[in-house]
């Protein structure tokens, strides 16, 4: 990647323009032509640096229940258990990590379903192994914006904050029309001059109306961001670890706030502790290598003054996809 590619990646993963000709807007920001931006994004997608550009929905505000789940599976049958878990369409990520609870997956269940019941069903099918449901009790940070810029390039881009609200709002009505909209907006945006007008034709509505609706849903926090999702490893972040701390409950809010301020942290949550898994503060960190992540984790631990922590690196990736909402509703 050259400097322009890095600046472009930084722009589109923070906030993609909801405009009639968004790629022209990006071109103006970067001193390029619209066709140059279209070409560069096409190349970045072909090289798998950009996974897709789309709406990133607040699943809780849309009526979904979601959680991180950990399962303790004997090594000889991990493959079979992972296959069962990954088959459920609400599972977007499923990894093997070195711990007693070694199969870690994220799951979302649609309105009308109960998360505990779905997880119990998957557990039975996988072999009835010990399972922990670890929902987010409190969210301190949820914004995957990777720092792809070199130090000398940082001053050449907008200082617009990438912070997002972490709490959902009420009022989303699940109906045929809203389901059609969600299904459309969660797909990759067309790589053409007026992409929102193309989407609008498929939805039998006007392009200006669709852009207005997207802005409205962003304001109501039904859409967290409209942005690009990058492939961590392809853009140079080969080290990605889940760090878990055992934190005194009275200190957890302060510690979570401190961790969320670090740019290397993309996600930070409080989750329930269990006797067999006493960790209650989680942060996803991203570095160039695993050793880089270890150094980052040590700095984080020092910043929050908590010595009891573990870094869980993924040793196998069974599933990693964008969650597709309303997969079986009419």
Q: Which residues contact 259 (CB under 8 A, 6 or more apart)?
A: 140, 141, 265, 268, 281, 283, 300, 303, 304
User: Parallel, antiparallel, or unpaired: how do β-strands 103-109 and 223-230 relate?
Assistant: unpaired
Report the chain's terminal Cα–Cα distance, integer Å: 43
Marked catalytic residue, from 93, 121, 267, 286: 93
3-state secondary structure (DSSP) of residue 72: coil
CA distance 237 to 287: 5
Other Cβ atoms within 10 Å of 216 Cβ, number = 11
> For residue 98, what are its two tokens?
């070195």
Per the annotation, the verdict on 93 as an active-site residue is yes
Show the DSSP H helices in the chain as ranges: 3-14, 22-30, 34-46, 78-86, 115-126, 176-185, 195-202, 207-219, 252-260, 290-304
Concatenate the DSSP letters of all residues of 251-317 into one string: GHHHHHHHHHTSTTEEEEEE---BTTB---EEEEEEESSHHHHHHHHHHHHHHHT---EEEEE-SEE
Residues designated catalytic: 93
């Amino acid at each position: 990647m050259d400097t322009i590619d890095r600046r472009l990646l930084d722009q589109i993963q923070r906030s993609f323009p909801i405009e009639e000709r968004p790629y022209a807007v990006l071109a103006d920001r970067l001193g390029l032509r619209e066709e140059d931006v279209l070409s560069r994004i096409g190349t970045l997608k072909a090289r798998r640096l950009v996974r897709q550009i789309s709406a990133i929905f607040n699943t809780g505000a849309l009526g979904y229940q979601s959680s991180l789940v950990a399962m303790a599976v004997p090594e000889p049958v991990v493959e079979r258990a992972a296959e069962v878990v990954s088959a459920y369409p609400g599972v977007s990520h499923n990894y093997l990590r070195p711990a007693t609870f070694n199969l870690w997956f994220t799951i979302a269940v649609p309105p009308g379903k109960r998360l505990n019941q779905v997880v119990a069903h998957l557990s039975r099918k996988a072999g009835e192994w010990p399972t922990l449901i670890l929902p987010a009790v409190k969210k301190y940070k949820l914004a995957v914006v990777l720092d792809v810029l070199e130090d000398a390039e940082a001053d050449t881009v907008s200082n617009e904050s990438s912070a997002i609200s972490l709490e959902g709002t009420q009022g989303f009505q699940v109906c045929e029309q809203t389901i059609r909209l969600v299904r459309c907006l969660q797909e990759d945006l067309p790589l053409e001059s007026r992409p929102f007008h193309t989407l609008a034709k498929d939805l039998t509505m006007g392009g200006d109306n669709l852009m207005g609706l997207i802005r409205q849903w962003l304001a109501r926090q039904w859409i967290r961001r409209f942005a690009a999702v990058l492939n961590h490893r392809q853009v140079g972040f080969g080290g990605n670890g889940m760090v878990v701390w055992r934190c005194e409950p009275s200190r957890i809010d302060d510690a979570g706030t401190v961790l969320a301020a670090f740019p290397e942290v993309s996600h930070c949550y409080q989750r329930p502790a269990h006797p067999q898994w006493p960790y209650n503060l989680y942060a996803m960190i991203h570095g160039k290598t695993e050793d880089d992540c270890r150094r980052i984790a040590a700095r984080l631990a020092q910043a929050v003054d908590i010595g009891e922590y573990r870094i869980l690196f993924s040793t196998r990736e069974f599933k990693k996809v964008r969650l597709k909402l309303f997969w079986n509703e009419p």
